[in-house]
Structure 1
Amino acid sequence: MPHNKFSRFQTEQEVGQEVERFQKFLEREDLMENTILGYTWTIRYFLCTYHTVNEDTLLKYKSYLVSGFSPATANQRIQAVNKYLRFIDFKYHVKAVKVQQKPFLENVISMQDYKFLKRKLKMDNPTYYFLIWGMACTGARISEILCIKAEHIVDGQMDFYGKGKKYRRIYFIKDYQNECLKWLESMDKSSGYIFLKGDGGRLTIKGVEKQLKSFARIYTIDKAVMYPHSFRHLFGKTFYENYHDLPLLADLMGHASLDTTRIYSRRTSAEQASIINKIVTW
């Protein structure tokens, strides 16, 4: 049945059919699996709650998001809704919630703790050794890192479309490439995904998050800094400290706006506190 943007979705079956159509559209857009999952969940909730799409229901949904969620979460849901509006050719755009960027980085693993963790994992868990090193030396998102294949390591780089359909190339530094190739050779692995579980299945984002918390406990590292994006932040912060080129860093990290990248020109909250304690003696 052709889609009508003024239709009312009264039953779960009607909502399910519409969400399925939207999902196929997203798959054709070649979005990440987790992005598709988040977008379809959002639209399922919206249609089950408001039953129809018009400016009134869209504004009610935005008010619900603003009153109950952080600006970042609200904007993720709004982004999903706007993608759906484009899908149904609805000439309306829900404005994003303004997010005030913090003047400091929060909960970023220190270089000292990162190097300590690497040393431990090299002996105890090679898979996570290369996964964590990969995040920290490329600035890649965890969803991107888990897509690395042996062929990418051989090439020394990985090309794909990231957030916002932005083309991006991830480079593997020579030390990482050479050591990773030796690891893959020791497992007689020359193709396919490299970050796998014991049963041969691919590692998942939730699985990695859980394992990092476990490492925090085992190696006595602050659990607040043991999450995947912490290593992406470490890359951004350390790269900028050594090479003050924000446009280049934005390209390497896949940022659409320099405003997003600019956070890496700032100190962490711990560094700010340390500087204040050294300087302020009055």
Structure 2
Amino acid sequence: MKDFEEYLQAQDYAANTISSYLFAAKQLEQNISPITNQSLLEHKEWLVSSFAPKTANNRIGAINVYLDFLGYNGMRLKGVRVQQKPFLNNVISNDEYRRLRDGLTRDEDWFWYFVVRFLACTGVRVSELRKFEHAHVLAGHMDIVSKGQKLRRVYIPANLQTEALSWCTREGKTEGVLFGDRSALTSRGIALGLKRAAERYDINPDVVYPHSFRHLFAKNFISKNPDIAFLADLMGHESIETTRIYLRRTAAEQRRAVDEAIDW
């Protein structure tokens, strides 16, 4: 498995993804031998019957990457269909975002202010947030190569770019990453820091987590620019179907719409 681990690292997979992919590959090797199309289908059946659909799909995706690594000439497994909820849950609202942003501004807590701003205004994943460098702020964008070797450009809006450059000047940042050393500032550390900031400003911590701001970015963008194909490109989605979830309302928004509409 050491060779597979090195292969994943060379493909620039996140540490958590590498860990889960290694687990899935080891599980596959333990459960079936040799690897054949039939044994792969039997393993998939075991995964689907033993785990939730999302977990099964994660394992299936990992197995397909492992098969690519092995150069296996047979089949690749298809994921199982996951029925999505017709609403979004635990997503930060614009009001909560403004309270968090304005509170951090009042307290001059600029580090977490810019963590929140970059998450909300660029739609990046937390692993991508840690890659922002001073040079990207100067350029106004960051280019990311996805797992499928597809180039994606993350734009830094002009107002955020101006703010961030001023912050860098005040902090004496002229090069390198924006948010500390990448190895020191983990994804978990960012998530915990956001929870603490939410509690500080009396905001429900359940809605303040890195991916919540990605939802906020997408929902706000699509409300101002209905080009869903463009949004899919901005977010790095392989399929527009993945992006469609952001057209849905949150459960609270659905509740409010029903209460306002039904007056009979």
Counterpart in the other structure of 1:232: 214
> 1:212·1:226 contact (CA, 8 Å) conserved in 2?
yes
Structure 1 consecutive aligned stretches of length 4 or more whose deviation exceeds 6 Å = none
Counterpart in the other structure of 1:99: 82
Q: Distance in 2 between matches of 1:230 and 1:92?
A: 36
Q: Distance in 2 between matches of 1:193 and 1:44?
A: 35
Q: TM-score, normalised by structure 1?
A: 0.86
Alpha-carbon distance change, 163 to 265 in structure 1, aligned in 2, over 3 angstroms: farther
Counterpart in the other structure of 2:95: 112
Pairing 1:26-45 to 2, within 5 Å after superposition: 26-45=8-27
Pairing partner for 1:85 from 67, 73, 95: 67
Deviation at 1:131, TM superposition (A): 1.0
Q: Distance in 2 between matches of 1:201 and 1:31?
A: 14
Q: Structure 1: any 5+ residue segments left out of the alignment? A: 1-18
> 1:140·1:170 contact (CA, 8 Å) conserved in 2?
yes
> 2:31·2:43 contact (CA, 8 Å) conserved in 1?
no
Counterpart in the other structure of 1:136: 120
- Supply the AA of the counterpart residue of 1:118: R
Work out whether 1:146 is the aligned partner of 2:114. Answer: no
Deviation at 1:76, TM superposition (A): 1.5
Q: Distance in 1 between matches of 2:147 and 2:43?
A: 24
Q: Distance in 2 between matches of 1:224 and 1:69?
A: 25
Q: Distance in 2 between matches of 1:134 and 1:275?
A: 30
Q: Distance in 2 between matches of 1:130 and 1:203?
A: 14
Pairing 1:190-205 to 2, within 5 Å after superposition: 190-196=174-180, 202-205=184-187
Deviation at 1:60, TM superposition (A): 4.1
For 1:160-186, what per-residue CA distance to the aligned partner results, in whole angstroms no more than 9, with x for missing partners? 112433310001111111111111111
Alpha-carbon distance change, 27 to 267 in structure 1, aligned in 2, over 3 angstroms: same
Q: Distance in 2 between matches of 1:128 and 1:52?
A: 50
Counterpart in the other structure of 2:55: 73
Q: Distance in 2 between matches of 1:147 and 1:202?
A: 13
Counterpart in the other structure of 1:11: none
Q: Paired residues, what number? A: 262
For 1:20-71, what per-residue CA distance to the aligned partner results, in whole angstroms no more than 9, with x for missing partners? 1112222333333433232123213332454653345433432343234332
The alignment yields a C-alpha RMSD, in angstroms, of: 2.0
The percentage of counterpart residues that share the same residue type is 41
Deviates most, 109-118 or 222-231: 222-231
> 1:193·1:202 contact (CA, 8 Å) conserved in 2?
no
Deviates most, 61-70 or 135-144: 61-70
Alpha-carbon distance change, 163 to 266 in structure 1, aligned in 2, over 3 angstroms: farther
Deviation at 1:223, TM superposition (A): 2.1
Deviation at 1:213, TM superposition (A): 2.1
Q: Distance in 2 between matches of 1:51 and 1:151?
A: 49
Q: Structure 2: any 5+ residue segments left out of the alignment? A: none
Q: TM-score, normalised by structure 2?
A: 0.91
Alpha-carbon distance change, 86 to 105 in structure 1, aligned in 2, over 3 angstroms: same
- Supply the AA of the counterpart residue of 1:241: S
Deviation at 1:158, TM superposition (A): 0.3
For 1:138-179, what per-residue CA distance to the aligned partner results, in whole angstroms no more than 9, with x for missing partners? 111111111111111111100011243331000111111111
Deviation at 1:217, TM superposition (A): 2.2
Q: Distance in 2 between matches of 1:165 and 1:24?
A: 17
Counterpart in the other structure of 1:5: none
